[in-house]
Structure 1
């Protein structure tokens, strides 16, 4: 047999060989290369993986790569990556909208026809496993210096009580001075309402109205107006011209913000298709969708069809009828993090992403959906640094604890914080208490609930959208039981704006996206969207044994029992139902971990699902068991109807 050096000898030979090969190069380059090679060698050692885990880049064919803005784990085990136009205005103007379906178990990919620009919409898992996506992009922002044509909101009126009317995109409106403005999308105007006074017989007509964004037909500020005027609709004559008209207060050269759409779709994981459902009443861009204990979905916030933030007109989707209805009024900044809690309440952690004034809707609090009351929860440190922060319902959900991690200032602020904090919402008069600080000030941190009741956090940047090459190549675990952070292996790909992270059924974590504003430290080169997918294998998967959870009932009602076979060298310590993640903009409020009571049987365990729908909203979950070393099994899909 040939000579096989011992590990320490091999290490020395590796470094020595690297330095010898580079002997002719300059010293700093040689030393840097040697350090890099030694680091690669070190992180590939079994002992290192068992302590810190390991990262691998996914081999993804170029034709399936997308600018991943939204990522959802489906009950088929596939991951749906939605780009829409992918923050690329050329794709938007060309009508090129993308989605990719990835099967992690078999390593396959599939392009999915995408009917609308779902870029920056909202999404939530429905009880039957479909994914609801509502809102998206109707128009990209245009900075003030780049605005070529005057524009603004036009209110289209209808004084006919018997007829509504849809006006197509491109409909022209003429001002009294003869200036022409074109509708940037179609608009449906409801009919007027007619009321008769029972005493006098007097008839009152209240015009129906709808709003649409219009632009002048020619460039330049001379085609704008700062006065309220009535506009005739070009092409209408007679009574129609009298009944239908436009009204606008100001049509100017102001900055144009992103504008939302009203359309909503369901993605069917089994047919692998988008199916359009009834549109929302309000257009929304950057909304949050929240699954409720009833199985319905609440939609809040977002920029509307003229780029203004929604004032608090919220809506509820009923999956049984596929229709929307009004919800209690409450204002939030865009992409607010809202968590379903006990007692028909939602907790707003203060985490949000992007739009809204700094002095409105920023305070965390409890929102009672039955009464509409909002009760602030005080005591959060660095409360001015909640934008682009991460938050989650800590495992298990029965503890009713929410955690906030990192974050930054409103807008393009360089403010960032290393603060973490936890609030216990199970008792009266909840107050935030500090958690362990992150290793450094961090925005855009992704946080994932793990089967062993820890939280895995990764990535982020110190500055707004990674400015100044500030991406953070760190990862760590938070343990709620000890209130401590421990180091994990470092990722190799920087992630900041537009990133997502998901727990996979096999216990690994997949991380997607990354959209830095610039590509260099001096902030002079435009950034490139990160299309590579990196997968983290936690230390628990490098142990010699893990429990084997066999197949059992696929459907278990709340309050019911179910028995599953388990083969494990060590005793089973926990059983958890983990709701699959659906993430965008560092916001993933779908994920939650529910502790299951269980009894051991001769060949496995019998679990009991809690009967509280606010703890276990209807839908699909992954069932994991862990052994006494906290090593989890592979997840098994279970449906709670």
Structure 2
């Protein structure tokens, strides 16, 4: 940890010097008092004036305003994930919240917040969803998959050797279930304990036909291929005696007879090296009506730090993550079908953890190279279009500071019909101090899309939160210059990006700094809420360990200060678009409706929000009603619940109506 050297000053010596010292001491005392008091007075006066200035209606009409959320102590939590539900409530998921003591106790948090009434409710949380993935489903449920099976242990902290154990099952008649705590014994008598339950599938029996040289069929040949699963094991004894780099066959203590003969372990590398976080296979749907988690079939692969992205047919693709032994997934992606509640293999492709993947018109996924962390610097860092059908990847060039895309923000710019994706800020791989102010935009409608530079952010920024607004601007806020806010590098700034002019304009500054593990999302009333932050240190010298930020702030945009009491409004209407993509709503002032947008609700974590998108709607007016029509293209408008906003000519949004796209 860096420490600042102290400074010494000299003084006159001798008799004359004594008088000078006495006089100097008096002057110094006055100077010290002035030095102590003046900045405080100036600071207090400056702060008082600043508070006065930002509270003025004219200021708020130009820049917006921030206000804290009153959270009862019992409901304060470490907001790792946040998702807006079609009930209008926000699901705030912490799991163990990056606190190992909570993990060790099995204490996992989820809080459901109702922003309209500012009420809170604790939700029983069945697994540790810390660093899971999530996606909106067509019926309005939220799919949550993956999370934490084990916290990391750094180099020097590991006392018991650990690693992967491949478990073989040569019995073709039944699966074998080994519970957490199963003991594996080496030929030398060294024992290792499994840390998780594991189901080892039955062996596969294959029969083939062969023919002799005369063409006569010979008897069937039967081959048995052992079923296999992998589980993390840890030595029962501390120290280096349990370290092994070679493969050996391990007996499973407690198995008898045929089970013992057919089921055994094969060690992988078991060491005292750093042990990374490990993922879980569990998957759940959160039901907004019952307000509870409902278990569904688990994933085939354990995942920690995965991305879940909705596809045009309502299924969800799970990508990347650390597995059950802490190794980054090599590309064994899988797809969840909400109709069957089951997972099937998806196209194989490697990405670093929490990759940002956006569904584009036509069904391809675009990867702007934004990601949130684990993976080597030379793999999976190129931006490009991924065709799931052919499993091909078309690289997209032109990105400046291409080695600083980790912890960057990215989004499908509004309206989605324009098919432009923006990347904002980011930093070097891992704990790098480097960060970039770079923004860039790519037009995916072009035959050979290339990134083009956008306007720079005010400074290099990691962990920037970016939210699409109903008036087609993008609100960006917070972040830090350095990794996890090191050296007091939080950025207390906010701005709007205008895609039409390709420019930023200033917004009111937040009062709470936010970096790693922070989120922001659009509320149905047109405001933006920000959560979380997990700084590495709490001071500029990096000597005090950081504390998780549990305060929440709400930003009210300028338009709601200018016209909030006279905003456009929609009355009665359907909650589902008809087969032609239309819905008609009553309104007292149809002439005030200038445009309409369908906005998909967010599911955000680690600066990654692949759900949010805004679709421009056709607007027709008749009498005291407004009819909106959405494009009939599920790759542009995936099935699910959306917020329907209308705005006036000044960009003032209505409160949202919830509408389902079947």
TM-score norm. by structure 2 comes to 0.92
Which string of whole-angstrom CA distances, capped at 9 and with x for unpartnered residues, describes residues 100-154 of structure 1? 0000011111011000000000000000000000000000000021001011000
Q: Aligned-pair distance for 1:622?
A: 0.6
Give the counterpart of 2:253 among 218, 234, 250.
234
Q: Aligned-pair distance for 1:631?
A: 1.0
Q: Aligned-pair distance for 1:465?
A: 0.3
Correspondence 1:185 to 2:196: yes
Q: Aligned-pair distance for 1:568?
A: 4.1
Partner residue in 1 for 2:127: 116
Structure index of larger Rg: 2
Structure 2 contact 409–466 (Cα < 8 Å) conserved: yes
Correspondence 1:586 to 2:607: yes
Correspondence 1:43 to 2:62: no
Partner residue in 1 for 2:436: 417
Partner residue in 2 for 1:5: none
Partner residue in 2 for 1:539: 558
SS of the equivalent of 1:549 reads coil
Structure 1 contact 546–568 (Cα < 8 Å) conserved: no
Structure 1 contact 23–30 (Cα < 8 Å) conserved: no
Correspondence 1:137 to 2:148: yes
Give the counterpart of 2:264 among 223, 229, 245.
245
Partner residue in 1 for 2:418: 399
Question: Residues of 2 paired with 1:468 and 1:592: CA distance?
Answer: 35
Partner residue in 2 for 1:447: 466
Structure 1 contact 558–612 (Cα < 8 Å) conserved: no
Q: What pairs up with 1:258-269 in 2 under 5 angstroms?
A: 258-269=277-288
SS of the equivalent of 2:440 reads strand
Which string of whole-angstrom CA distances, capped at 9 and with x for unpartnered residues, describes residues 17-43 of structure 1? xxxxx9997211111111011111110
Structure 1 contact 193–208 (Cα < 8 Å) conserved: yes
Partner residue in 1 for 2:221: 202
Which string of whole-angstrom CA distances, capped at 9 and with x for unpartnered residues, describes residues 293-313 of structure 1? 100101000000000011111
Structure 1 contact 551–636 (Cα < 8 Å) conserved: no
Give the counterpart of 1:604 among 608, 617, 625.
625
Partner residue in 2 for 1:566: 587
Structure 2 contact 166–268 (Cα < 8 Å) conserved: no
Q: Aligned-pair distance for 1:501?
A: 0.3
Partner residue in 2 for 1:150: 161
Give the counterpart of 1:214 among 230, 233, 241.
233
Q: What pairs up with 1:497-576 in 2 under 5 angstroms?
A: 497-544=516-563, 545-557=566-578, 559-568=580-589, 571-576=592-597
Partner residue in 2 for 1:6: none
Partner residue in 2 for 1:301: 320
In structure 1, runs of 5+ residues without a counterpart are: 1-21
Partner residue in 1 for 2:136: 125
Which string of whole-angstrom CA distances, capped at 9 and with x for unpartnered residues, describes residues 407-463 of structure 1? 000000011000000000012000111110001110000000000000000000000
Structure 2 contact 589–624 (Cα < 8 Å) conserved: no
SS of the equivalent of 2:58 reads helix
SS of the equivalent of 1:404 reads strand
Structure 2 contact 80–92 (Cα < 8 Å) conserved: yes
Structure 1 contact 558–613 (Cα < 8 Å) conserved: no
Question: Residues of 2 paired with 1:620 and 1:563: CA distance?
Answer: 17
Question: Residues of 2 paired with 1:368 and 1:384: CA distance?
Answer: 24
Structure 2 contact 590–626 (Cα < 8 Å) conserved: no
Partner residue in 1 for 2:3: none
Give the counterpart of 2:642 among 621, 624, 629.
621
SS of the equivalent of 2:269 reads coil
Structure 2 contact 95–129 (Cα < 8 Å) conserved: yes
SS of the equivalent of 1:211 reads strand
SS of the equivalent of 1:276 reads strand
Correspondence 1:60 to 2:71: yes
Q: Aligned-pair distance for 1:570?
A: 5.9
Partner residue in 1 for 2:8: none
Structure 1 contact 337–351 (Cα < 8 Å) conserved: yes
Question: Residues of 2 paired with 1:328 and 1:467: CA distance?
Answer: 38
Give the counterpart of 1:376 among 387, 395, 405.
395
Partner residue in 2 for 1:467: 486
Question: Residues of 2 paired with 1:599 and 1:261: CA distance?
Answer: 49
Q: Aligned-pair distance for 1:235?
A: 1.4
Structure 1 contact 557–609 (Cα < 8 Å) conserved: no
Partner residue in 1 for 2:655: 634
SS of the equivalent of 2:354 reads coil
SS of the equivalent of 2:270 reads coil
Q: Aligned-pair distance for 1:571?
A: 3.2
Structure 2 contact 67–554 (Cα < 8 Å) conserved: yes
Which string of whole-angstrom CA distances, capped at 9 and with x for unpartnered residues, describes residues 235-278 of structure 1? 12222211010001321111100000000000000100000000
Q: Aligned-pair distance for 1:569?
A: 8.8
Q: What pairs up with 1:343-362 in 2 under 5 angstroms?
A: 343-362=362-381
Question: Residues of 1 paired with 2:597 and 2:207: CA distance?
Answer: 61
SS of the equivalent of 1:363 reads coil
Question: Residues of 1 paired with 2:207 and 2:337: CA distance?
Answer: 35
Question: Residues of 2 paired with 1:120 and 1:270: CA distance?
Answer: 24
Question: Residues of 1 paired with 2:299 and 2:582: CA distance?
Answer: 39
SS of the equivalent of 2:488 reads coil
Question: Residues of 1 paired with 2:181 and 2:513: CA distance?
Answer: 43
Structure 2 contact 590–624 (Cα < 8 Å) conserved: no
Q: Aligned-pair distance for 1:606?
A: 1.0
Partner residue in 2 for 1:91: 102
Q: What pairs up with 1:271-286 in 2 under 5 angstroms?
A: 271-286=290-305
Q: Aligned-pair distance for 1:629?
A: 1.0
Q: 1:150 to 1:490 in 2, by over 3 A?
A: same
Q: Aligned-pair distance for 1:468?
A: 0.4
Question: Residues of 2 paired with 1:356 and 1:204: CA distance?
Answer: 38
Partner residue in 1 for 2:114: 103
Structure 2 contact 517–532 (Cα < 8 Å) conserved: yes
Partner residue in 1 for 2:27: none
Question: Residues of 1 paired with 2:177 and 2:36: CA distance?
Answer: 72
SS of the equivalent of 2:43 reads helix
Structure 2 contact 146–279 (Cα < 8 Å) conserved: yes
